[in-house]
Amino acid sequence: MKFYNLLIKYRFWLSIIAIVGAILLNITKTAGFWPTFPLYFIGAIGLFSHFFIGPLRLIQEPMEAGNIEAVKKILATVWFPNLLYKPVRSTFYTIKGNLAMMEQDFETAEKHLKKSSDIGSAMPEAEGANKLQLGMMAMQRGDLKQGESYIRAAIRAGIPDKESEAVAYLQMCQIFMNKREFRAAKDFFRKAKACKPKTQQVLDQVKEIEKYISRMPG
């Protein structure tokens, strides 16, 4: 595994060395084209995989260790994101968006997450998580219409964990409370509680809404 990670980390330069080495052997007539063909082939495959697949495999370890600077350095080696295979490109922009959110740069986060959402993901759950984040940011701006659109899309796509699913339903509950559509608000509230959230922040939100929900008609 470590050898494979090292290969990914340095494959661009190793590929360049292989191709330059093959060219030098041809120029100096040390070897003809066919004897050096394996070097050309290895170099071409290495360059193709560097630009088409990228180095995102290397991100897992520093992400788990909380080494955000290392993650940023790995992302910075993606020079041409538009050349990445679509699911990889979607993941690239998702990670960029999440990093921007961690730094409270919501404008940049929204830009990257929108790119990821527009590209689409091979995993519907990842697409759902993206759309939920976009919906939450729209809600923070007070754009309830856009927020509702994104959160509905997130629920349709599927949300990867019960905590986030509960958040989505609670946001929908609040949207319909603002619309004074109390029956729909109560329905979304019941769905949120059915997710059985455990994090304190979500539980506090449930308790806060519960103060008003029982007094609503419908």
> 31 in a domain, yes or no?
no
- Burial string for 16-26 (b: 16+ CB within 10 Å, else e) reads eebbeebeebb
pLDDT in tens, 107-159: 899 999 999 988 877 566 678 888 999 999 988 888 889 999 999 999 998 88
> 101 in a domain, yes or no?
no
> 176 in a domain, yes or no?
yes
Number of domains in the chain: 1
> 89 in a domain, yes or no?
no
> 50 in a domain, yes or no?
no
> 78 in a domain, yes or no?
no
> 214 in a domain, yes or no?
yes
Which domain covers residue 191, as residue numbers? 169-218
- pTM score, whole prediction: 0.74
| Long-range contacts of the stretch 156-161 (C-beta < 8 A, 24+) | 156/128, 157/124, 157/125, 157/127, 157/128, 157/131, 158/124, 158/125, 158/128, 159/125, 159/128, 159/129, 159/132, 160/125, 160/126, 160/128, 160/129
> 47 in a domain, yes or no?
no
Tell me which DSSP letter residue 143 carries: -
pLDDT in tens, 16-73: 999 999 999 999 888 888 889 999 999 999 999 999 999 988 988 888 788 989 999 9
